[in-house]
């Protein structure tokens, strides 16, 4: 119980520091595994019990990593569970949510640009995430950020640019 008092106090100190300089800033508490409602319920229940402050919840949504870590998950299930989690936590804690990190597979196992079919699948998944966040979260999801899209395949498996520095088809989801 002392642990959560310390966590809340630490976060509140940061919250107050931000608000003292930028009173209208939106302070986000970000967790990974946006599909995992039990993680979010546990964490934010504890933070709330200890008077923790936040304005918005940030979630990471990485179907690729989720499927590697949890063989029972598909990309579609990861997205479905994240959208459901957005609705649940925004209602329970009466705050907006943002997907502050996402990324799609762009590289093969050797750090080369993935096959066109893999890139098209990434575009399809990102398009779905954007659409679901826009249309299926009761207007509580305020945005989606692609984490390091400028990375080349040799730099980061979930970037979205070619080795020559041009956007792949994945980025067309934002059009």
Beta bridge partners of 59: 31, 99
Round to whole Å and give the CA distance between 108 and 68.
Answer: 14
Kindly report, residue by residue over 122-160, the tens digit of the pLDDT: 999 999 999 999 999 999 999 999 999 999 999 999 999
Round to whole Å and give the CA distance between 8 and 48.
Answer: 8
Round to whole Å and give the CA distance between 136 and 87.
Answer: 8
Kindly report, residue by residue over 45-72, the tens digit of the pLDDT: 999 999 999 999 999 999 999 999 999 9
Domain 27-37+58-174, classified CATH 3.20.20.80, yes or no: yes
* 138: alpha, beta or left? (left if phi > 0; alpha if psi -120 to 50): left
* 165: alpha, beta or left? (left if phi > 0; alpha if psi -120 to 50): left
Domain boundaries defined on the chain: 27-37+58-174
Asked whether the predicted pLDDT for residue 100 surpasses 90, the reply is yes
Give this prediction's pTM.
0.95
């Amino acid at each position: 119980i002392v642990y959560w008092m310390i966590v809340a106090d630490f976060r509140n100190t940061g919250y107050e520091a931000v608000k003292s300089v930028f009173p209208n800033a939106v302070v986000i508490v970000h967790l990974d595994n946006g599909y995992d409602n039990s993680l979010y319920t546990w964490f934010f229940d504890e933070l709330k019990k200890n008077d923790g402050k936040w304005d918005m919840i940030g979630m990471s949504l990485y179907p690729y990593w989720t499927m590697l870590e949890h063989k029972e998950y598909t990309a579609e299930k990861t997205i479905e569970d994240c959208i459901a989690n957005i609705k649940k936590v925004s209602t329970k804690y009466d705050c907006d949510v943002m997907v502050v990190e996402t990324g799609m597979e762009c590289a093969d196992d050797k750090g080369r640009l993935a096959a066109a079919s893999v890139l098209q699948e990434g575009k399809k998944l990102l398009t779905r995430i954007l659409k679901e966040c826009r249309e299926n979260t009761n207007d509580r999801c305020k945005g989606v950020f692609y984490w390091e899209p400028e990375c080349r395949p040799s730099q980061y498996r979930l970037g979205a640019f070619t080795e020559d520095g041009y956007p792949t088809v994945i980025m067309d989801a934002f059009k």
